[in-house]
Structure 1
Amino acid sequence: MRPHLLLIAAILLLLARPTVAQDEVERCNVAIDIGHTETTQGSTSARGVGEYLFNRTMANLLLNKLHRAHRVDAFIIDGNDMTLQQRTQFAADHHATVFFSLHHDSVQPRYLSTWTYQGKEHHYSAKFHGFSLFISEKNPYPKQSLALAQSLGTQLLDAGFTPTLHHAEKIPGESRPLLDPHRGIYAFDDLIVLKTASMPAVLLECGVIVNRSEELHLTDPKKRARMIQAVATAIERTCPRISLEDHTPTTSRDVH
């Protein structure tokens, strides 16, 4: 099942090379989803900062970058007053070509230690670091989702970032099927924003914010800019090609 999906996605990725005449390439429209909300922040960093704040910062940086890109439009989904399904419906209502959700990562409780920072006790872990990418094979466009994830992974690697493979560990809360170890791509079939999106969808965990060193990297303006450039390059190269693909939804029979 998955080797077949990987082969098809690899072919789509090759086709994403920017060698097509300008008049043959469509514009695409990217829905940038800010993971979590102001009231439900998600993970907490090693220094006590809520994940949502990291996600929002990266989403706005990406929006500004994509607004200067060729052939790409973009808008932000800030789901403070939305359910997860309403986020993907909002993307569909605004004619998104792809749904891209931004998050920052943590680890399972067994790997957490405590330390004191500015007089307060916080959890941290030095065991894992790096980015990860997720797609859902229950999304109607798993091939295109994987092709975009592969492009993102390639650009992040080229920019000097490394993937984390800890989500594949066979422990409670993890055990995610690892589709592409080199690029850190996993299947998370029942993740709501991925499986309910009516367009290709990818979720990026930018890094592990409970790792004290990586938290500093993820707040460094130069490193953020480098990551945003990598993500924007992948989207700009791949998304217009996805908009030209036959968007007949893939049935489970096609995937398997």
Structure 2
Amino acid sequence: MRLPVFCLFLWSTVNVLAAEIAVDVGHGGRDPGAISARGRGEFDFNRDFAGILAERLAAGGQRVRRINFDGAIGSLAARPQAAAGSDFFISIHHDSIGEAWLLPWTWEGVERTHTEVKRGYGLFVSAANPDLPTSLLCASTMGAMLRRAGFAASDWHGRKHQAADAHNGVWYYDNLVVLYRTRLPAVLFEAGVIKHKDEELELRDPARQARMADALASGLAACLQVTGKPARD
């Protein structure tokens, strides 16, 4: 699915109506998620980037509902429930890889693992989501804006998931609770692979984080303007 040109430029050419975006921080205090090549928990990566994304969305005139920024939500189903009444749900994550593809290395005297074969972002939608068309369009628009900003999608997900829009890094992941246990259009975003030594450092770079958040925020706002989803006072 390649987006029409007007979607890519809409963010800068229209007066976007205010939407409320629910930004969810993946994992939490009892479940740190994946562990990076240097031993940092995924939740910390997720929270840092989600905070930057929330700021960029707000700066663009969107309303933001922060979900699980304190890491206290233990139930996956409780996340979309906490977003009820918003216009869109996006869950922020960082990726890992299966044990078979991990290599040993030592970082600051501690034995760790890393990968050299997987890196890049991914966007996931569920065919069971009640508003799949909007979920798909927004995922593709965000992916297109990420590519235009110089980011590369990972093709690794094609090993397990059906492509929704592989060109823009969008894949089906139908049984993700946060994507189908909601009444909202929803996307799960994997910002990159923290088990990749080089990409881990890139994912912690503030300038890169800001550029990625800008691409997501502009793509999402453009998509919601096209669909008319944020047409609320």
Normalised by the size of structure 1, how large is the TM-score?
0.83
How far is 1:17 from its partner? 2.9
Aligned residue in 1 for 2:106:
116
Deviation string 1:51-71 (CA, Å, 9 cap, x unpaired) is: 00000000111111111113x
1:45 alignment partner in structure 2: 36
Aligned mate of 2:24, from 10, 33, 42: 33
State whether residues 28 and 97 of structure 1, in contact with CA within 8 Å, keep that contact through their aligned partners in structure 2.
yes
* Other structure's SS at 2:77 match: helix
Percent of matched pairs sharing the same residue: 34
Deviation at 1:197, TM superposition (A): 1.6
Indicate yes or no: 2:7 matched with 1:17.
no
Partner residue in 2 for 1:239: 224
SS of equivalent to 2:66: strand
- Compute the displacement of 1:21 (Å): 6.5
- Is 1:68 the counterpart of 2:48? The answer is no
Structure 2 gap segments, 5+ residues each: none
Task: Name the TM-score, length of structure 2 as normaliser.
Answer: 0.91
Query: Which of structure 1's runs of 4+ aligned residues deviate more than 6 A?
Result: none
Structure 1 residue 239, shift from structure 2 partner: 2.3
**How many residues are treated as equivalent by the alignment?**
229
The answer to whether the aligner puts 1:86 opposite 2:109 as a matched pair is: no
* CA shift in 2, pair 1:146/1:161, >3 Å: same
| Counterpart-to-counterpart distance in 2, 1:131 and 1:167 | 10
Cα pair 1:42 1:52 within 8 Å, conserved = yes
Partner of 1:205: 190
Larger Rg: 1
* Aligned residue in 2 for 1:55: 46
Query: 2:172 matched to 1:182?
Result: no
| Contact 2:179–2:188 (8 Å) recurs in 1 | yes
1:19: Cα distance to partner? 8.5
Q: Is the 8 A contact 1:44 1:210 kept in 2?
A: yes
Q: Structure 1 pair 64/19, CA: closer, same or farther in 2 (3 Å)?
A: closer
Task: Classify 1:132/1:47 alpha carbon distance in 2 versus 1 (closer, same or farther; 3 Å).
Answer: same
RMSD: 2.3
> For the residues of structure 2 that align with 1:99 and 1:143, how far apart are their CA atoms?
14
> Is the 2:11–2:219 contact (alpha carbons within 8 Å) kept by the matching residues of 1?
no
Asked if the contact 1:129/1:211 (under 8 Å) is kept, the reply is yes
